[in-house]
Amino acid sequence: MTLKIIAALIVIAVLALSAYVRLAPEDAAAWHVGVATPDPASPGPCTGKVTIVPKGARATCLASGTPSEVLARLDATALTSARTIRLAGTPEEGRITWVARSFLMGYPDYVTAEASTTPAGTRLDIFSRQRFGEGDMGVNAARLKDWLSHL
C-alpha cells in the first residue's frame, strides 16, 4: 500500500470513531443507576469530598436543604454547564443523571447524583464517570468540584 492510502485509511478510521462517539445511543437504564456508597457522609464543604476513582470521580457529603432542593440546585448548575443535558431523573425522584460531553471530540461523561434524608441531614452522593477510554485527566473531578461549589 502506498503512503497516501494508509493516511486515508487512518483519517477514515478517526472520523468513524468520532462519529460513533458522538452518535452512540444513550442508554438511560445503563447509566441512571444508584451511586450511593456505604461510606458515611460527613459535614463540611462538598467540594472537599471529591475523590478520584477508576474512570471518574465521586463525592459523598451532607448538603443543606431537602433532597429535592439539593438536586434542583445541582440540576440548575449542571444544565448551565456547556454541552450538558439531563438524561434521566428529576429532583423529586431523588436521582438525576446528566450527560456532559467534551468540547473537541464529544466524549460523553455520565454524572449521576442521588440525595436522601438521613438523621444528620441531606446526604448527597454524586458520581461522574467516563464512557470511553481509561483516563480522564482529572476532568470528572474538576466537574464535580465546580458543580458542588454552587451548592
Q: Which residues contact 97 (CB under 8 A, 6 or more apart)?
A: 28, 31, 32, 86, 87, 88, 89, 110, 111, 112, 113
At 18-40, the pLDDT tens digits run 777 777 788 899 999 999 999 89
Q: Categorize the per-residue pLDDT at 1 as very low, low, confident or very high, splitting at 50, 70 and 90.
A: low
Q: What is the pLDDT of residue 71?
A: 98
Q: What is the pLDDT of residue 44?
A: 83
At 98-117, the pLDDT tens digits run 999 988 878 899 999 999 99
Q: What is the domain count for the chain?
A: 1
Domain extent, residue 136, equals 27-149
Is 121 among the domain residues?
A: yes
Kindly report the backbone phi and psi dihedral angles of residue 64, in degrees, each rounded to the nearest multiple of 5, phi listed first.
-85, 140
Is 5 among the domain residues?
A: no
Q: At what angle do helices 139-149 and 67-80 cross, to 10 degrees?
A: 120
Ranges 8-17, 26-35, 92-101: which has the least confidence: 8-17
Could you tell me the CATH number of the domain that includes residue 142?
A: 3.30.310.80
Burial class (CB in 10 A: 0-12, 13-18, 19+), 135: exposed
